[in-house]
Amino acid sequence: MKRTFLGEFEEIVLLVVAGCTGEAYGVTIWERVQEYTGRSVSLSAVHATLYRLEEKGFLTSEMGGATAERGGRRKRFFSMTNYGNRALQEINEIRQQLWQAIPAEKLQPKLSFS
Amino acid sequence: MEKAPQHNRPPRWVDRLLTIIIAPHFLEDILGDLHEVYALHARQGNARTARLRYLLTSARYVRPYFMKRKPRTYSPTYIFSPAMIKNYLKISLRTLGKNKAYSFINITGLAMGMAVAILIGLWIYDELSFDRYFENHDRIAQVWQHQTFNGQIGTQTSLPFPIGDEIRRNYGADFKYVIMASWNSWHILANGEKKFNKSGSYIEPEAPEMFSLRMLRGTRSGLKDPYSIMLSESVAKAFFGDADPIDKTIKIDNNLNVKVTGVYEDFPHNTTFREMSFMMPWQLMIVANPWLKTMEDPWRPNAYQTFVQLIDKADIDQASARIKDIKKRNINKEQLKYKPDVFLNPMSDWHLYSEFKEGRRVGGRIEFVWLFGTIGVFVLLLACINFMNLSTARSEKRAKEVGIRKAVGSVRKQLITQFFTESFLVSGFAFSLSIALVVLCLPLFNEVADKKIAMPWARPEFWLAGIGFSIVTAIIAGSYPALYLSSFQPVKVLKGTFRAGRFAAVPRKVLVVVQFTVSIILIIGTAVVFRQIQFAKNRPVGYSRDGLISIFTSTGDIHKHFEAVRHDLKSSGAIVEMAESGSPTTETWSSTSGFEWKGKDPEQSVDFSFDEISYDYGKTVGWQFVQGRDFSREFATDSVALVVNETAVKFMGMKNPVDQPMTWFKKPYKIVGVIKDIVVNSPYAPSRPQFFCLSSGQGNVINIRLNPAVGSSASLEKIKTVFEKHDPGSPFEYQFVDDVYARKFFDEIRIGKLTTFFSILAVLISCLGLFGVASFIAEQRTKEIGVRKVLGATVLSVWGLLSRDFVMLVCIAFLIATPGAYYFLNGWLQKYDYHTSISWWIFALTGLGTLLITLLTVSFQAIRAATMNPIRSLRSE
């Protein structure tokens, strides 16, 4: 089965969008990505990734919700497509399989008292 | 919603940059997010760090991903693809070809205007570059002087003989060169059998260096030896052809042998020294005229010219101020009443700014530069107006074309380009045609304007100006159809509800009025110039010019045998009389201040023209006596007799002038006759007091009255034989006084001819334009005329209908032009002391003439429209 590869950052962004309960747009997604990963991420990186994901069909967007703070500009609300959903699940399945393949003792942290 | 405070906004310039950089489809939300983040930061920290962070964040958007524009959904319209360019050109050429009359009027009109502008431009350039040939033109100056005579300050270039040495000795620090020169005069140069009468000067040896002569042979130090001569290229060619002239011997005036030491390139036509075809050393003049060294009062006569070159750091005004009193320090007390103020006139002002009135510079030829410059601009303006007028008049017809083009999918930019291509094409053709016209007209123009202008083919400025102008014209003329027509809504145009507004024709009418105003001013100007010339020509000259010739003598041979020559010629019947004089009849070369008479204020400084003549001079030229008699051999006392003119009598305030005693430099004289004023020098200037006395010395001029009973060519042949017998060393050259007199009017006639030329062109261009506009209007109203005719209008009423508008416009133009023309021309005439007045009938005649031309032009179209069969005009649709 042919899958679309998702980069690590793309996957995180996609997961963040998927995890948003309310409306997800550039700034909220950017804040959450930083929150979850604990990394400092530039807004432009988040934007670029969002647009790329949309181009690939994992996300779709619509405009709306202008505020004065934004100078009357609308937000772009992103939501996940079915295709995005399936891609995440596939990734998850593969990960699960891989996890299960790991022998149990390897997962135990070795104690050493040297 | 909370409104963001005004001051708490991210820097606007960053936003502006982002708007340019980021692709439009990303822009809105990215910018919005950025602002939101900024607001967040601003709330958390201070505004400064927020701004900085905003800037840094924004900078990260400068990357190809955000900059790349989204491809359009529709295929693009091509405006400048090769295929479209070809199409524009093809359609433009077809449009031009389809409306042949329109294209012809447009292109020729514009080409004529451009040609006039180019000619005038070349002329102005030539005038402004006068004397620029000399490398040191910005450092060279001529010494002039103001003197007070007869209560008026006169300004002249003639200076006393010792002034050069005086400047060198006492004021030399300012000057690199100080050069004395004689007036340019005619001399006979002979080498073997070849003899030529050429004009040249005696000049000091540094002159070649100062005038940066371009030496073809020899060096610039060729005048060091007193017995040398430097020839211009043309004179050297005339004598020696291609052979080397250096060290060849030339005999001057049958008297002095000198050696050729150099050949220089001829001075160009637009230099002050263009007549100086050879140079002889100053020293040679002193050798030939030893009395120069033993003059009683060398500072009294003013007869020489002085040129100087300033040293590089000298200031001309200061140097001029330093030499101001040079004459006053040296002349006799007696002469101080003339108040001679010496000053330097820089070379850059010689040609254009050397007219002085009452000791002040009042301009000069620069006025003509302005005059013709203005005319050039106006004629060009007329041509451009035509171009624009025709485009706008035609535009209403083309509205339908615009509609169709738009309906089948043309975008506005393509229409704009189409219209601009047409106007560029027309102005391009016009420019090429104008160049051809200029090349054709240049020889004639040079002759009329007394210039030697060549086409500046190789000068980039010329092409830049010409092409630049064509582009500007094309843009201005093409902008109306291009920008206005292309904005029409196709639905309205095609449905036929489109009508150009009531005021669409107003600018066109204004332009027609401007055109005719300029034309009328030019016509009136031409008429007045010619009236003034005619007025001066009709002035009584005081003698008879018919069959009067003058011969300039350089050698003394004829003088020695004067009586024999006179007897020979009179007995052969070739002449009626002949006599010698110091100046030609048409001029006066000498003036004197030495006359005293009873009742003269001793403090009064006078300057009277005088001339020394031989017996029979009065009979030869045909003096008209008012009182008294001519000089006569029968009275021995006539050696101290004077003949004066009427103005002199009036000036001296004598009741009975005949037999009145006078003194001339203390010597007693007596007036024997009073003659009518003779026109000497300028025919526009009032007469000056003039005195004649007898002299047995050699005159400069021999005046001969031909026998009217014998043909002049036969007489001249006889005179030639006799002259050559007695004076074999001189070529026989003569001038008819008539021709010489006519030359006094050359300047005015030149202006007259040029203004005629320009006014004819202006009228022609205006009429061409009118013709074009009238034809379009007639075409537009075809249907109206058809309906009118069906309802019973006559040809006459239709003609009146079409002509009325134009006649109105010309009347308005006439009303505007008249006061303007009167103002300018009156100012021009005031410059002449002897001038005509501007009569009302010139205006009336011009007005009528213009009206007539207008009617003729318009009628052609009007009658054609009026006589058309209404069935044909109404059937179409």
Token pair in block for residue B82: 């090769």
* Band of residue A1 on the pLDDT scale cut at 50, 70, 90: very low
Q: CA B62, B68, B69 angle in degrees (round to 5)? A: 130
- The answer to whether residue B313 scores a pLDDT higher than 70 is yes
In the 8-state DSSP scheme, what is residue B640?
G
Q: A71-76: which pairs have CB atoms within 8 A and are 24 or more residues apart?
A: A71/B4, A71/B9, A71/B31, A71/B32, A71/B35, A73/B28, A73/B29, A73/B31, A73/B32, A73/B35, A74/B28, A74/B29, A74/B32, A75/A23, A75/A25, A75/A26, A75/B29, A75/B32, A75/B33, A76/A25, A76/A26, A76/A50, A76/B28, A76/B29
Q: Which residues of A touch B9 (CB under 8 A)?
A: 71
Query: How far is B817 from B515, CA to CA, in rounded Å?
Result: 10
- Which DSSP category does B243 fall into? S
Q: Answer whether A76 sits within 8 Å of B29, measured CB to CB.
A: yes
* Residue of A30, A69, A73 lying closest to B28 (CB–CB): A73
Q: Residue B744: pLDDT above 50?
A: yes
- What is residue B732's predicted lDDT score, i.e. its pLDDT? 84
- Shortest Cα–Cα distance, A94 to chain B (Å): 31
The answer to whether B445 touches B504, Cβ cutoff 8 Å, is no
Q: Is B332 helix (H, G, I), strand (E, B) or coil?
A: coil
pLDDT tens across B383-397, in order? Answer: 888 887 787 777 767
Q: How far is B69 from chain A (nearest CA, A)?
A: 14
Q: Which of residues 77-106 of A touch B (CB under 8 A)?
A: none
* Residue A31: exposure state from Cβ atoms within 10 A (0-12, 13-18, ≥19): middle
- Find the residue in A nearest to B59 (Cα): A44
Contact list, A25 vs chain B (CB under 8 Å):
29, 33
| Chain B: closest CA distance from residue A96 (Å) | 35
Q: Which residue has the higher pLDDT, B459 or A105?
A: B459
Q: What pLDDT is attached to residue B818? A: 92
Measuring CA to CA, which residue among B296, B180, B196 is closest to residue B238? B196
Judge whether residue B474 has pLDDT over 80.
yes
Residue B5 pLDDT class (50, 70, 90 cuts): very low
| Closest chain A CA to residue B53 | A42
Of residues B400 and B1, the one with the higher pLDDT is B400
Give the pLDDT confidence score for residue A113 in this predicted structure: 67
Over residues B481-500, the mean pLDDT reads 75
Q: Give the three-state DSSP class for A89.
A: helix
Residues B254-267: what's their mean pLDDT?
Answer: 90
Chain centroid to Cα B545, Å, comes to 31
**pLDDT greater at residue B868 or residue B110:** B110
Q: What is the pLDDT of residue B497?
A: 60
Q: How high is the pLDDT of residue B4?
A: 44
- On whether ipTM exceeds 0.90, the answer is no
Q: Is the pLDDT of residue B872 over 90?
A: no
pLDDT of residue B2: 43
The pLDDT assigned to B168 comes to: 92
> Which residue of chain B comes nearest to A47, CA vs CA?
B30
A43 touches chain B (CB under 8 A): yes
Contact list in B for residue A66 (CB cut-off 8 A) is: 32
Which pLDDT belongs to residue B442?
Answer: 92
The two tokens of residue B38 are: 């900024």
Give A66 to chain B, closest Cα distance, Å. 8
Q: How far is A77 from chain B (nearest CA, A)?
A: 9
Q: What is the pLDDT of residue B3?
A: 44
H/E run at residue B672? strand B667-675
Give the number of beta-carbon pairs within 8 Å between A and B.
Answer: 72
Q: What is the mean pLDDT of residues B239-256?
A: 88
pLDDT band at B284 (very low <50, low <70, confident <90, very high): very high
B171-208: b or e for each residue (b if 16 or more CB lie within 10 Å)? eeebbbbbbbbbebeebbbbbeeebbebebbbbbbbbb
**Both tokens of residue B532?**
């003034």
Using a CB-CB cut-off of 8 Å, the residues of chain B touching A75 are 29, 32-33
B1, B28, B36 ranked by CB distance to A27: nearest: B36
Say whether B35 and A68 touch across the interface (CB within 8 A): no
| C-alpha B695 chain-centroid distance | 43
Q: Please report the DSSP string for B530-572 in residue order.
A: HHHHHHHHTS--SS--TTEEEEE--SSHHHHTHHHHHHHHHHH
Greater model confidence, A43 or A112: A43
Q: Has residue A68 got a pLDDT over 80?
A: yes
- Nearest chain B residue to A67 by CA distance is B1
Backbone angles phi, psi at B185, to 5 degrees: -140, 165
Region of residue B697 (left: phi > 0; alpha: psi -120 to 50; beta: else): beta
Place of tokens 């919005």: B32
How close B2 gets to chain A, by Cα (Å)?
A: 7
Rounded (to 5) percent helix, strand, coil in chain B: 50, 15, 30
Angstrom distance (rounded) from CA B671 to CA A106: 150
Picking from B2, B29, B60, the nearest residue to A73 by CB comes out as: B29
Chain B nearest-CA distance from A32, in A, is 14
CB-based contact B26 A47, cutoff 8 Å = yes
Residues B175 and B309: beta-carbon distance below 8 Å = yes
Cα distances from B867 to residues B101, B801, B859, in angstroms, run: 20, 13, 11
The shortest C-alpha distance from A82 to chain B (Å) reads: 24
CA distance B9 to chain A (A): 9
User: Which of A28, A29, A32, A70 best probes binding to B when mutated, by most B CB atoms within 10 angstroms?
Assistant: A70
Closest CA of chain A from B78, distance in Å: 29
Among A10, A23, A25, A27, which would you mutate to test the B interface (most chain B Cβ atoms within 10 Å of its Cβ)?
Answer: A27
Integer Cα distance of B304 and B161 in angstroms:
6
Rounded CA separation B382/B513 (Å) = 10
Count of beta carbons in the 10 Å neighbourhood of residue B468: 10
**B98-to-B104, B416, B481, B769 alpha-carbon distances in Å:** 11, 20, 18, 19
Q: Which residues pair with B262 in a beta bridge?
A: B218, B230
* B65 → chain A, closest CA residue: A48
Nearest CA among B735, B737, B593, B746 for reference residue B684? B746
Q: Enumerate chain B positions whose Cβ falls within 8 A of a Cβ in A.
A: 1-4, 9, 26, 28-37, 39-40, 57, 60-61, 63, 65-66
Name the maximum alpha-carbon separation found in chain A: 64
pTM, entire model:
0.73
Q: Do the Cβ atoms of B190 and B729 come closer than 8 Å?
A: yes
Q: Kindly determine whether residue B2 and residue A69, on different chains, have CB atoms separated by under 8 Å.
A: yes
Q: Is B36 close to A67, i.e. CB distance below 8 A?
A: yes
Whole-number pLDDT of residue B259: 92
- Nearest CA-CA distance, residue A83 and chain B, Å: 23
pLDDT beyond 80 at A110: no
Q: Does A27 touch chain B (CB under 8 A)?
A: yes
Closest CA to B166 of B320, B303, B323, B289: B323
CB contact under 8 A, A45 and B31: no
pLDDT by residue (tens digit) across B538-557?
888 889 888 899 988 877 88
Please report which residue ranges of B362-505 form alpha helices under DSSP H. 366-407, 412-449, 460-479, 490-495
CA angle, residues B454, B460, B462, in degrees to nearest 5: 50
Residue among A25, A44, A69 minimizing CB distance to B60: A44
Residue-wise pLDDT for B161-216, tens only, equals 999 999 999 888 889 999 999 988 888 898 888 888 899 999 999 999 999 999 99
**Count of alpha carbons within 13 angstroms of residue B657, beta-carbon side:** 25
B364 or B468: whose pLDDT is higher? B468
Q: What are residue A60's phi and psi, to 5 degrees?
A: -130, 165
User: What is the Cα–Cα distance from B683 to B533, expressed in whole angstroms?
Assistant: 9
**pLDDT of B150 higher than 80:** no
Q: And the tokens for B300?
A: 């009294």
- Identify the weakest region by mean pLDDT among B45-49, B106-110, B512-516, B615-619: B45-49
Cβ separation A75–B65 shorter than 8 A: no
Most confident of A100-109, B508-517, B553-562, B814-823: B814-823
What Rg do the C-alpha atoms of chain B give, in angstroms? 38
Contact A68 B34 (CB under 8 A): no
Asked whether the beta carbons of B861 and B778 are under 8 A apart, the reply is yes
Interface touch B63/A44, C-beta < 8 Å: yes
Collapse the DSSP code of B697 into the 3-class scheme (helix H, G, I; strand E, B; otherwise coil) and give the result. Answer: coil
Q: Which residues of B fall within a CB distance of 8 Å from A47?
A: 26, 30, 33, 61, 66
Q: Could you tell me the pLDDT band of residue B227, with boundaries at 50, 70 and 90?
A: very high
A44 vs B2, B35, B61: nearest CB:
B61
Best to test chain A binding among B14, B29, B37 (most A CBs inside 10 Å) = B29
Chain A nearest C-alpha distance from B36 (Å): 5
Nearest CA in chain B to A72: B32
CB proximity A75 to B under 8 Å: yes
| H or E, element range at A64 | strand A59-64
Record the tokens describing residue A32, joined without a space.
């959450």
Give the burial string for B781-816 (b: 16+ CB within 10 Å, else e). bbeebbebbeeebeeeebbebbbeebeebbbbbbeb
Q: Which of B232, B176, B183 is nearest to B206 (CA)?
A: B176
Is the pLDDT reported for residue B876 higher than 70? no
For the segment A30-59, the average pLDDT, to the nearest whole number, is: 91
Q: Which residue of A has its CA nearest to B42?
A: A69
Cβ–Cβ under 8 Å, residues B92 and B98: no
* Separation of alpha carbons B768 and B760, rounded Å: 12
Confidence at residue A59, expressed as pLDDT on a 0 to 100 scale: 92
A68 closest CB neighbour out of B4, B28, B40: B4
User: Residue B591 CB: number of other CB atoms within 10 A?
Assistant: 18
